[in-house]
Amino acid sequence: MNIFTVSFFGHRNITNYFRVAERLEEEISRLIKEKEYVEFLVGREGEFDLLVASTVRRISKSLSF
């Protein structure tokens, strides 16, 4: 299995929340669709980390087979 690892560690506060959320959704969706297996590493403290974690969970659930 070819594992593709992506790490997301960001800022405590996000100034343009909706634009960041949109870009995250695009990139995470693309990675999940294109790669055989994707491992996401996400921080646990700030607003960005929470946004990434929820986006990964939501997209993974919607693409589940």
* pLDDT beyond 60 at 65: no
The pLDDT score that the predictor gives to residue 6 is 96
**Residue 63 DSSP one-character state:** T
Nearest to 46 by CA among 12, 20, 10: 12
For residues 37 and 4, is the Cβ–Cβ distance under 8 A? yes
pTM of the shown model: 0.83
**Tokens matching residue 44:** 């646990």
Q: What is the mean pLDDT of the chain?
A: 90
**Residue 10 DSSP one-character state:** -
Higher pLDDT, 65 or 56: 56
Q: What sign for the dihedral angle of Cα 54, 16, 27, 47?
A: negative
The pLDDT score that the predictor gives to residue 13 is 80
